[in-house]
Structure 1
Amino acid sequence: MTDRLTLTGLRARGHHGFFDYEKQQGQLFVVDVTVEIDAIESASSDDLDKTVHYGVLAEQIVHDIEHEPVDLIETLAERIAATVLSHPAARSTSVTVHKPEAPIAVPFGDVSITIERGRP
């Protein structure tokens, strides 16, 4: 049985992108994360230490967005997935990074990458 903890729409300004002006000016990034956990122990014990503290995780993800610019949203997604999996209760994760202000010459609603990662 798999239980899921989901954070949707985390927003932060980052300086990621292939073009120099993206790194200089920065732009909005939006992240959705689903973390697969086993919630039986935390639920039965009512112990925060037995699960993923979503408040702490949210702050860590915002830090990942705001620091250390990278060229690709794929690289940013990998960074965030590693942060999620650093929590002992996290079994696997799905990370979607949205780049709604991507430098595209035609009208569009969103650009995003979704990756799925788990423990070996």
Structure 2
Amino acid sequence: MTDELAVTGIECFAHHGVFDFEKREGQVFVVDLVLGIDTRPAAASDDLEHTVNYGTLALDVKAAVERDPVDLIETVVQRIADVCLLDSRVEWTRVTLHKPDAPIDATYSDVALTITRTRGNAHD
């Protein structure tokens, strides 16, 4: 059993999307992360070196979202999971990418994709 560390509402501005105007104008994306980690070493030592630095991780995720425009949120959310799993203490991650301003000709509140990846199946 692992503990869960959550960082939610990471706001990013990026140029992803299938349509030319999405790539040209950009839009807000919001990321929610849940990391499966063992927090006991950090609790015992009270040392940041023994856990995930969520401040640094949030900045790394933001940078990953905001670089290299792609067509699909599936591509972006996998990119985010890969960033989370770079830290060997992260056993698994659940990533939700929200695209609240997706170009849909209907009234809606959000479009979101959630994936879960574990160490060893990051690219499966």
TM-score range for the pair, normalised by the shorter chain length: over 0.9
Partner of residue 22, structure 1: 22
Q: How many residues align?
A: 120
**Aligned-residue offset at 1:19:** 0.7
Return the letter of the residue paired with 1:31: V
Aligned to 2:89: 89
For normalisation by structure 1, the TM-score amounts to: 0.97
Could you tell me which residue of structure 2 aligns to residue 31 of structure 1?
31
Aligned equivalents of 1:108 and 1:10: distance in 2?
21
Match of 1:42 in 2: 42
Confirm whether residue 115 of structure 1 aligns to residue 115 of structure 2: yes
Counterpart-to-counterpart distance in 2, 1:88 and 1:29 = 26
* Gap runs ≥5 in structure 2: none
Q: TM-score, normalised by structure 2?
A: 0.94
Query: Identity over aligned residues, as a percent?
Result: 49
Two-structure CA RMSD over aligned residues (Å): 0.7
Q: Distance in 1 between matches of 2:21 and 2:116?
A: 30
- Structure 1 residues not aligned, in runs of 5+: none
1-structure distance, mates of 2:71, 2:26 = 12
